[in-house]
Amino acid sequence: MQQEILQLEIDILNHAPCGLHALDGDGKFIYINQTELDWLGYEAHELVGVKGLYDLLTEESKNRFHQLFETFKREGKVSGISFDIINREGKIFPIQINSNANYDEAGNFISSLTYVVNLTEHTEKERSLKQKTKTLDAIFAIGQTILEERSLDSILQKVTDATTELTGAQFGAFFYNSVNEEGEIYQLFTLSGAPRAAFEKFGMPRNTAVFEHTFMGRGIVRVDDITKDPRYGKNAPHFGMPKGHLPVVSYLAVPVVAKSGTVIGGLFFGHPEPGVFTSEAEKMVEAIAWQAAIAIENAKLFEALKEANKKKDDFISIASHELKTPLTSISLYIQLLERTFKEMAGPGKAFQYLHKTKAFIKKLRSLIEDLLDVSRIQAGKLELRKEDFDLNPFIKETLEDIQNTNKSHTILIRGSTSCSVSADKFRIEQVMVNLVGNSIKYSPLAREILVEIKEENNFAIVAVTDYGIGINENEKSKIFDRYHREVNENRFSGLGLGLFISKVIIEMHEGKLWFTSSLGKGSSFYFSLPCINLKK
């Protein structure tokens, strides 16, 4: 009966869910259960009395075990200690041990009783979790790239770099189709993990049996050893990889397909070792390929929009220049007619009509100049002719000129500055005319415009305030945009260029243009210019 109980205890120990072993004073196995033997791939007689735990550890773990075992024999207990152990097939896996020592009556060490936990599953889950987190981070980062980037090359390089790293590929490439101005289709590519020269000498991939599946958008290709795939080596002239090509054994290719179903290109990954790419990597690249397709389409739309804007700006520039020539001639003939009518008949209705025609011509000339300024800004050709001058008298003279041509509102001036500036007088006058003109235009029921001048932190600040319609809250963020006109501006004339041009001019002077506004109560526009000196 006792023998049966003893055998039952041995069976329980042998099939325990954790490893269990005992070591003698020299560190050799005197007992090891079947669970631990199964992990290690040994038979009991190959280890018991023959080897110790030390003999099965990696070099790094051996150093720690040697120091720990001597301390353990003195102190009698260790817990939660981790080592890397090597099984019979050479596979390394992590273990954690908890040990208690047995001593004789004299206190001499007899043996250890050690419980062993195989951490492989835990480590694998932790690795998998880290990989999933890394994948999610990459997908999120590429999503951000889609939102922020507008350069096609930059988007594709980031996609290629991220997916190459995440799949564990030694190198990756993104080949994609593009159409030039003549309508010819050609392929471009980005690379990661390999120099461009490694691919350029071989030219772009052709629709061979291997590549066709991807370029036709038929699905994902993942092969542990591409050289053993039935599609490999079927096409002349190389019948496989050309001489000098980067070694590819593991192969993964994912088509990049637009919403319309058009195949944009493909992501390709290679590694010289077999079986590198997993189903998890495949799914991850598939998700990123979908994002990449959106990014490419958005980038192409953005490029098309840029090109359309450029053509529009070119047209506006040409049209504006062409309009200026006849307008100059019309102005000259109006002046001659005005002088003739004055000499022949004196002031009358015809004379008044001519006077009004001159005002409309002046307005048309101003609109043309605004369009030309926008073209100069877009081309980076808006120039400043700076000179040093006192700002205070200049502002007052400019406002007097504006007041002389406008009788509907009284322009009030408050404050002053002793600040001198280095600025383009013509351009600063242009800003003042725009701001005051807008204040007059958008306060039809008011009768006063207030202009305040002050000095703050070595900047001169000019504020133009009206008591008019104010700016809608939804429109405030767009107020300085080119061609922007508020919804309620339909009853007011203009192209929506004045504030855009004014902002550019002030920023070119290293100043700032901003505003405050309350709907129905009016607006205040401010601009600042740096002082070059302060009069004492």
For 248-261, b/e burial (b = at least 16 CB within 10 A) is bbbbbbbbbbeeee
Which residues, including other chains, have CB under 8 Å from residue 504's CB and lie 6 or more apart?
A: 377, 382
Q: Which of 82, 112, 77, 115 is nearest to 96 (CA)?
A: 82
Sheet holding 522-530, edge to edge: 410-415, 448-456, 459-465, 522-530, 512-518
Asked if 399 and 352 sit in the same domain, the reply is: no
Q: How far apart are CA 492 and CA 490, in angstroms?
A: 5
Asked if 211 and 240 sit in the same domain, the reply is: yes
Asked if 27 and 52 sit in the same domain, the reply is: yes
pLDDT of residue 383: 83
Asked if 180 and 243 sit in the same domain, the reply is: yes
- The beta-strand segments (E) located in 119-208 are 171-179, 185-192
Asked if 71 and 174 sit in the same domain, the reply is: no
Q: How far apart are CA 209 and CA 429, in angstroms?
A: 70
Q: How far apart are CA 10 and CA 180, in angstroms?
A: 79
As given in the structure block, the two tokens for residue 268 are 């390709």
Asked if 325 and 409 sit in the same domain, the reply is: no
Secondary structure (DSSP) of 189-250? EEEESS-THHHHTT-SPP--HHHHHHHTT---EEES-GGGSTTTT-STTTSSSPTTPPP-SE
CATH of the domain at 316: 1.10.287.130
Asked if 29 and 61 sit in the same domain, the reply is: yes
Secondary structure (DSSP) of 248-306? -SEEEEEEEE-TTS-EEEEEEEEESSTT---HHHHHHHHHHHHHHHHHHHHHHHHHHHH
Which element (helix H / strand E) includes 163? helix 152-167
- The residue among 255, 271, 302 that closes a domain is 302
Give the torsion through C-alpha atoms of 485, 488, 492, 495, to 10 deg. 10
Q: How far apart are CA 311 and CA 448, in angstroms?
A: 42
Asked if 447 and 464 sit in the same domain, the reply is: yes
316 in helix, strand or coil? helix
User: Which CA distances in Å does 103 have to 22, 106, 108, 239, 493?
Assistant: 13, 8, 5, 72, 102
pLDDT of residue 492: 57
| 523, amino acid identity | S
Q: Is the C-alpha dihedral spanning 131, 135, 141, 142 positive or negative?
A: positive
pLDDT of residue 535: 47
- The beta-strand segments (E) located in 432-519 are 448-456, 459-465, 512-518
Give the distance, in angstroms, between the CA of residue 431 and the centroid of all CA atoms in the same chain.
35
Asked if 134 and 176 sit in the same domain, the reply is: yes
pLDDT in 10s for each residue of the chain, 536 residues: 344 433 444 444 566 678 889 999 999 999 999 889 998 999 999 999 999 999 999 998 998 898 889 889 989 999 889 999 999 999 998 999 899 999 988 889 999 989 998 888 777 777 777 767 776 676 666 666 656 666 777 778 888 888 888 888 888 888 876 655 554 444 657 888 776 666 655 455 555 556 677 777 778 888 888 777 666 555 444 444 556 566 778 889 888 888 888 888 888 888 888 888 888 888 888 888 887 777 777 777 777 777 766 666 666 665 555 566 566 666 676 776 667 666 665 555 666 666 666 666 666 666 667 666 676 776 677 788 899 999 999 999 999 988 988 889 999 999 988 889 999 998 899 899 889 999 998 999 999 999 999 999 999 999 999 999 998 888 888 888 866 555 445 455 556 688 888 999 999 999 999 999 999 899 999 999 999 864 44
pLDDT of residue 237: 46
Q: How far apart are CA 278 and CA 270, in angstroms?
A: 13
pLDDT of residue 370: 67
pLDDT of residue 483: 60
Asked if 8 and 30 sit in the same domain, the reply is: yes
- The residue among 379, 412, 437 that closes a domain is 379
Which element (helix H / strand E) includes 95? strand 92-103
CATH of the domain at 57: 3.30.450.20
As given in the structure block, the two tokens for residue 358 are 């001159």
Phi, psi of 41 (to 5 degrees): 80, 20
pLDDT of residue 155: 77
pLDDT of residue 228: 75
441 in helix, strand or coil? helix
Cβ atoms of residues 464 and 525 within 8 Å: yes
pLDDT of residue 194: 72
pLDDT of residue 6: 38
Asked if 176 and 154 sit in the same domain, the reply is: yes
Q: How far apart are CA 255 and CA 193, in angstroms?
A: 20
Given the structure tokens 């002082």, which residue do they identify? 531
For 12-51, b/e burial (b = at least 16 CB within 10 A) is eebeeebbbbbbeeebbbbbbbbbbbebbebebeebbeee
The residue range of the domain holding 145 is: 125-302
As given in the structure block, the two tokens for residue 362 are 């002046």
CATH of the domain at 525: 3.30.565.10
- The residue among 68, 100, 118 that closes a domain is 118
Asked if 357 and 284 sit in the same domain, the reply is: no
Number of structural domains, the chain?
4
